[in-house]
């Protein structure tokens, strides 16, 4: 028994709709064929009756009424043809020849049922109808008619074919519906199983993609991309939670100790000093949380609505001009390499891109000794625009280059320096929002950062 759930499945409904349309098409085609054939056969029968009438009129005209009566009698008594009727009457109404009788005169074409004609009722099919007409001859009137047997035969054949055609269509539709429903349900079950595992915490599960590359495979690919993004976000949140617990534990502990010392202190100046240091520690903690919130908003794509076409080279130049005195004040130097012509348009948010390059320069300044040279450049490689920020500082070890993009992650040598460990995390989030890639490499000495953007 077919369940309601089976009938609710989209493949079954689509198959049923196609079956209905195909059946409707079959009925329409058979209907058109029937009308055409019936019309053609009707015309043929009437033409045949006209030809016989013309022949008999010619006999009457050339050989006389008596010879016409003899020919009509011969044709009427023939056992070869049950599909024709004849009736010859004299001017006085007497029947001179024929195989029917008691047919009143009428003008034009008439239709006579075989069952109403006693002399031919038992011959042929009782459902026959005759297309007949009266013609005037020299000494009376002549009735000639032809049977519609061929029309009824065509009707029978077409209805028989239509019945088998509709039956075949229904069977094929049911078979295709079952096949499509089962095939689709198997893939849907795979989707449901995978999503169920993900909901139970197995976030690494993915929907298998077959080689057919059909619409369900495209859906599977999109689900996998969503799950990969979800896994990345969950891992990022988990890592951030762990890092927050680890990295903020110390400043919150220091803040508590300062406040306790301030409460126990009788010296107003010492109390004031402890409160000021506590406020600075609080500002640092608030700044860290604001940075985390900003990264979360960027990763959620909230700023994508503000995207517009902008000149990437001009953004780099503006940031370099702003930070050149800052770098010099820190004892280093900043050199810009952004000359050259050609388009440097990208699609993005100018404020976020300014933040990206500012973070890269600040990161180089903060973690490099005095005398470090920072180079800012721009290149176009094929269909990509590449922004480059490099320095001659200590660099980042190869095995740490993936870790530095994690939130609140800091190298061991940098844990004693100011900072939250969110600078490169923010860079990575902004780059991903702009469909850009960030590559870290050795500058020999120092660090070379390349941010590659798609051209507008």
Candidate ranges 75-89, 121-135, 160-174; pick with highest mean pLDDT: 121-135
* One domain for residues 263 and 308: no
| 207 assigned to some structural domain | yes
> Which one has a higher pLDDT value, 421 or 369?
369
| 189 assigned to some structural domain | no
* 221-224 contacts, C-beta under 8 A, 24 or more apart: 223/191, 223/194, 223/195
* One domain for residues 213 and 282: no
What's the token pair of residue 200?
Answer: 């139970």
* One domain for residues 147 and 20: yes
* One domain for residues 290 and 242: no
* pLDDT of the residue at 430: 85
The enclosing domain of 36 has a CATH number of 3.30.450
| 49 assigned to some structural domain | yes
Please, are residues 402 and 414 in contact by the beta-carbon 8 Å criterion?
no
Residue 40 has pLDDT above 70, yes or no: yes
* pLDDT of the residue at 195: 84
* One domain for residues 324 and 273: no
Instruction: Grade residue 12 by pLDDT with cuts at 50, 70 and 90.
Output: low
* pLDDT of the residue at 1: 46
Q: Do the strands 373-381 and 333-337 form a parallel or antiparallel pair, or are they unpaired?
A: parallel
Residue 407 has pLDDT above 70, yes or no: no
Give the CB-side neighbour count of residue 176, counting CA atoms within 13 A: 15
Express each pLDDT in 338-395 by its tens digit: 766 677 888 888 888 888 888 888 888 888 888 889 999 888 888 889 999 988 888 8
* One domain for residues 136 and 148: yes
| 4 assigned to some structural domain | no
Give the CB-side neighbour count of residue 227, counting CA atoms within 13 A: 21
* One domain for residues 393 and 416: yes
What's the token pair of residue 161?
Answer: 């074919």
Instruction: Grade residue 411 by pLDDT with cuts at 50, 70 and 90.
Output: low
Residue 136 has pLDDT above 90, yes or no: yes
* One domain for residues 264 and 361: no
Instruction: Grade residue 418 by pLDDT with cuts at 50, 70 and 90.
Output: low
Residue 428 has pLDDT above 50, yes or no: yes
Domain membership of residue 226 as a residue range: 203-247
Write down the mean pLDDT value for the chain. 81
* One domain for residues 290 and 312: no
| 3 assigned to some structural domain | no
Residue 188 has pLDDT above 60, yes or no: yes
| 351 assigned to some structural domain | yes
Residue 109 has pLDDT above 90, yes or no: yes
Distance between CA 326 and CA 317 in Å, rounded?
15
Instruction: Grade residue 420 by pLDDT with cuts at 50, 70 and 90.
Output: low
Residue 299 has pLDDT above 70, yes or no: no
Three-state DSSP at 294 gives helix
* One domain for residues 259 and 339: no
Q: What total of structural domains would you count in the chain?
A: 4
Please, are residues 353 and 430 in contact by the beta-carbon 8 Å criterion?
yes
The enclosing domain of 413 has a CATH number of 3.30.565.10
Q: Which of 413, 334, 325 is nearest to 367 (CA)?
A: 413
Q: Which of 120, 2, 110, 96 is nearest to 46 (CA)?
A: 110
| 188 assigned to some structural domain | no
Q: Which of 365, 387, 369 is nearest to 378 (CA)?
A: 387
Instruction: Grade residue 55 by pLDDT with cuts at 50, 70 and 90.
Output: very high
pLDDT > 90: what percent of the chain? Answer: 12
Residue 190 has pLDDT above 60, yes or no: yes
* One domain for residues 363 and 284: no
* pLDDT of the residue at 89: 92
* One domain for residues 313 and 449: yes
255: phi then psi, degrees, rounded to nearest 5: -60, -45
Candidate ranges 3-12, 214-223, 274-283, 441-450; pick with highest mean pLDDT: 441-450
* pLDDT of the residue at 51: 93
* pLDDT of the residue at 7: 61
H-helix segments, 64-146: 65-76
Distance between CA 266 and CA 284 in Å, rounded?
27
Residue 409 has pLDDT above 80, yes or no: no
**Residue range 148-155: average pLDDT?**
84
Could you tell me where the beta strands, DSSP code E, fall in 71-213?
A: 84-90, 95-98, 109-113, 129-137, 140-147
Distance between CA 23 and CA 29 in Å, rounded?
10
Instruction: Grade residue 140 by pLDDT with cuts at 50, 70 and 90.
Output: very high
Last residue within a domain, chosen from 89, 119, 153: 153
Q: Which of 202, 207, 174 is nearest to 189 (CA)?
A: 207
Instruction: Grade residue 415 by pLDDT with cuts at 50, 70 and 90.
Output: very low
Reported pTM: 0.48
| 39 assigned to some structural domain | yes
Instruction: Grade residue 145 by pLDDT with cuts at 50, 70 and 90.
Output: very high
């Amino acid at each position: 028994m077919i369940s309601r759930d089976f009938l609710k499945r989209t493949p079954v409904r689509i198959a049923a709709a196609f079956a209905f349309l195909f059946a409707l098409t079959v009925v329409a085609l058979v209907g058109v064929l029937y009308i055409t054939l019936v019309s053609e056969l009707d015309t043929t029968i009437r033409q045949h009756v006209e030809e016989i009438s013309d022949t008999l009129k010619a006999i009457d005209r050339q050989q006389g009424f008596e010879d016409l009566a003899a020919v009509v009698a011969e044709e009427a008594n023939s056992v070869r043809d049950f599909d024709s009727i004849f009736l010859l009457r004299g001017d006085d109404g007497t029947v001179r020849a024929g195989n029917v009788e008691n047919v009143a005169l009428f003008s034009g074409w008439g239709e006579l049922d075989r069952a109403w004609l006693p002399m031919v009722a038992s011959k042929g099919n009782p459902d026959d109808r005759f297309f007949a007409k009266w013609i005037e001859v020299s000494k009376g009137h002549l009735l000639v008619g032809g049977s519609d047997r061929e029309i009824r035969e065509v009707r029978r054949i077409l209805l028989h074919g239509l019945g088998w055609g509709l039956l075949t269509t229904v069977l094929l539709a049911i078979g295709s519906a079952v096949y499509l429903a089962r095939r689709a349900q198997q893939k849907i079950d795979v989707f449901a199983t995978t999503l169920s595992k993900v909901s139970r915490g197995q976030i690494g599960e993915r929907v298998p993609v077959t080689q057919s590359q059909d619409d369900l495979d495209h859906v599977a690919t999109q689900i996998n991309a969503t799950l990969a993004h979800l896994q990345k976000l969950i891992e990022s949140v988990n890592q951030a939670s762990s890092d927050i617990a680890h990295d903020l534990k110390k400043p919150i502990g220091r803040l508590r100790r300062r406040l306790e010392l301030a409460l126990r202190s009788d010296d107003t100046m010492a109390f004031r000093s402890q409160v000021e240091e506590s406020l600075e520690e609080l500002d640092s903690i608030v700044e860290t949380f604001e940075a985390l919130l900003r990264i979360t908003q960027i990763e959620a794509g909230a700023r994508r609505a503000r995207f517009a076409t902008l000149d990437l080279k001009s953004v780099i130049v503006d940031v370099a001009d702003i930070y050149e005195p800052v770098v010099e004040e820190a004892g280093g130097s900043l050199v810009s390499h952004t000359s050259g012509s050609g388009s440097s348009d990208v699609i993005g948010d100018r404020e976020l891109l300014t933040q990206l390059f500012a973070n890269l320069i600040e990161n180089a300044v903060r973690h490099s000794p005095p005398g470090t040279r920072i180079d800012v450049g721009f290149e176009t490689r094929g269909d990509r625009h590449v922004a480059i920020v490099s320095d001659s500082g200590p660099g980042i070890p190869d095995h740490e280059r993936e870790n530095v993009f994690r939130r609140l992650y800091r190298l061991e040598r940098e844990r004693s320096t100011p900072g939250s460990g969110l600078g490169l995390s923010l860079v990575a989030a902004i780059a991903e929002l702009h469909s850009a890639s960030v590559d870290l490499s050795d500058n020999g000495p120092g660090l070379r950062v390349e941010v590659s953007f798609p051209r507008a």
